[in-house]
């Protein structure tokens, strides 16, 4: 009788119930029947599940590198504090020789190993896609490369962007930066026009994904060689310049991160003062909000904001330790994670069912 009633549950209700489940439980539900497996693997269900989960910032994780890949999950404990739990990712056919995570989008990450081989990985499903080499890629050694990864909503495609330039002996010479782009859906690399900016004057950094664009600090090729924020838009595959905040600073000393979907600039080079700039309205110069936090507790340390848990609490890398910094109380708490990762390469991550390959290439 119970089975008969269950069979009458409308499919729309089942759809809504399953949408609320975490991605890891969806994988278990796929084992119920062939019908459920087909239903839960449908691209429309995966997109709807992603759209729902992507807005729940309290479920953000970090993906970090310590030769192996680790996810770090943040939870509230009964005392209303935060705990951090790490989990090592084990791949059946991939070795633990990772050096960086250079991008994160919709539950997928761009990871690079010691052989400079690039993979797109879903840390939740453990599926992966090996990105082929590009025949026009600049030789190593003798050149430098930076990468970014994101989703093009117009073409429904995931793209990897590589910015590469030759090692210049004369530092006064403006260096041309090659722009190469890999389409996951097509499985092909393409070379675009030379970047209109000089990317060799700043430290190597991964592109920061905000609102469908990858952001890098760069230098203008004009006579003043001023520091700019160069935003590469994934849909039209062109660079646009994002206005910097109005401050009397050398912006080349700043770094970029994304905090809760907003572009953030920060620097800790001023004694006892943390300068954080958040762009509230993308592309609008007047929307930069500037915080100058007097933080003697962070004096003499190098730190990097990684993600925000609340409006006041920021997870930070302080001397390769994961800490929670409360801006309101100016206090630090060690999150006691059992890994010693290269946290400057950490990326935020959400759980998703997104396939990293679109059915192209090598998939685990």
Q: How do residues 76-121 score in pLDDT, each as one tens digit?
A: 664 556 677 888 999 888 888 899 999 999 999 999 999 999 999 9
- The fraction of the chain above a pLDDT of 90, given in percent, is 30
Indicate if the pLDDT at residue 1 is higher than 50: no
Q: Which DSSP state fits 206?
A: P
Q: Per residue in 47-73, pLDDT tens?
A: 888 888 776 654 568 888 878 898 888
| Token pair of 304 as six digits | 């990097």
Measured CA to CA, the distance from residue 281 to residue 196 in angstroms comes to 24
Max mean pLDDT among 24-28, 171-175, 299-303 falls in 24-28
Q: State the Cα angle at 175 between 158 and 266, rounded to 5°.
A: 60
Q: Examine the pLDDT at 195 and tell me if it is beyond 90.
A: yes
Structure tokens given for 53: 């989960």
Cα–Cα distances in angstroms (integers) from residue 148 to residues 54, 132, 208, 278, 333, in the given order = 20, 16, 7, 21, 31
| Structure-model confidence comparison of residues 220 and 78, the more confident one | 220
Q: What is the DSSP string of 236-305?
A: TTEEEEEPPPS-SS-GGG-EEEEETTEEEEEEEEETTEEEEEEESSTT-GGGEEEEEEE-GGGTT--EEE
pLDDT number for residue 361: 47
pLDDT single digits (tens) 260-312: 788 988 886 666 677 888 898 888 888 998 877 666 555 556 677 777 767 77
Q: Which residue has the tokens 């630090």?
A: 332
> Quick one: which of 139, 199, 122 has its CA closest to 163?
199
Give the tokens for residue 240. 């646009």
Question: Helix-strand-coil percent breakdown of the chain, rounded to 5?
Answer: 15, 40, 45
Do 330 and 99 touch, CB atoms closer than 8 A?
no
Between the CA of residue 120 and those of 178, 184, 215, 341, 358, what are the distances in Å?
Answer: 22, 9, 20, 20, 11
Percent share of the chain, pLDDT over 70: 83
Please indicate whether residue 202 or residue 155 has the higher confidence score (pLDDT): 155
User: Residue 310, SS3?
Assistant: coil
Given its phi and psi angles, is residue 331 left (phi above 0), alpha (psi -120 to 50 degrees) or beta? beta
Mean pLDDT for all residues in the chain = 82
Angle (nearest 5°) at CA 213 between 266 and 322 = 40
Length of the chain: 364
């Amino acid at each position: 009788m119970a089975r008969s009633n269950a069979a009458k549950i409308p499919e729309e209700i089942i759809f809504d119930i399953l949408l609320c489940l975490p991605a890891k439980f969806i994988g278990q539900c796929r084992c119920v029947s062939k019908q459920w497996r087909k239903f839960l693997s449908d691209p429309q269900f995966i997109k709807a599940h992603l759209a729902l989960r992507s807005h729940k910032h309290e479920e953000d994780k970090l993906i970090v590198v310590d030769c192996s890949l680790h996810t770090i999950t943040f939870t509230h404990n009964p005392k209303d504090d935060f705990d951090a739990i790490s989990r090592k990712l084990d791949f059946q056919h991939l070795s633990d020789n990772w050096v960086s995570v250079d991008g994160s989008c919709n539950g997928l990450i761009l990871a690079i190993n010691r052989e400079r081989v690039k993979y797109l990985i879903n840390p939740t499903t453990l599926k992966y896609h090996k990105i082929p080499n590009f025949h026009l890629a600049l030789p190593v050694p003798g050149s430098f490369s930076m990468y970014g990864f994101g989703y093009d909503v117009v073409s429904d495609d995931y793209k990897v962007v590589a910015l590469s330039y030759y090692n210049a002996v004369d530092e006064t010479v403006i260096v041309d930066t090659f722009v190469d782009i890999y389409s996951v859906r097509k499985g092909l690399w393409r070379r675009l026009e030379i970047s209109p900016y000089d990317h060799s004057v700043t430290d190597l950094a991964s592109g920061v994904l905000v609102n469908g664009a990858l952001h890098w600090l760069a230098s203008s090729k004009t006579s003043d060689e001023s520091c700019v924020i160069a935003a590469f838009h994934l849909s039209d595959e062109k660079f646009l310049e994002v206005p910097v905040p109005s401050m009397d600073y050398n912006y080349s000393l700043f770094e970029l991160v994304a905090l809760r979907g907003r572009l953030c600039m920060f620097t800790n080079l001023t004694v006892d003062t943390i300068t954080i700039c958040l762009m509230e309205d993308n592309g609008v110069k007047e929307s930069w909000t500037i915080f100058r936090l007097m933080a003697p507790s962070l004096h003499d340390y190098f730190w990097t904001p990684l993600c925000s848990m609340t409006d006041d609490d920021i997870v930070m890398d302080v001397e390769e330790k994961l800490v929670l910094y409360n801006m309101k109380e100016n206090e630090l708490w060690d999150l006691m994670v059992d890994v010693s990762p290269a946290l400057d390469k950490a990326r935020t991550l959400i759980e998703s069912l997104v396939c990293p390959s679109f059915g192209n290439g090598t998939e685990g």
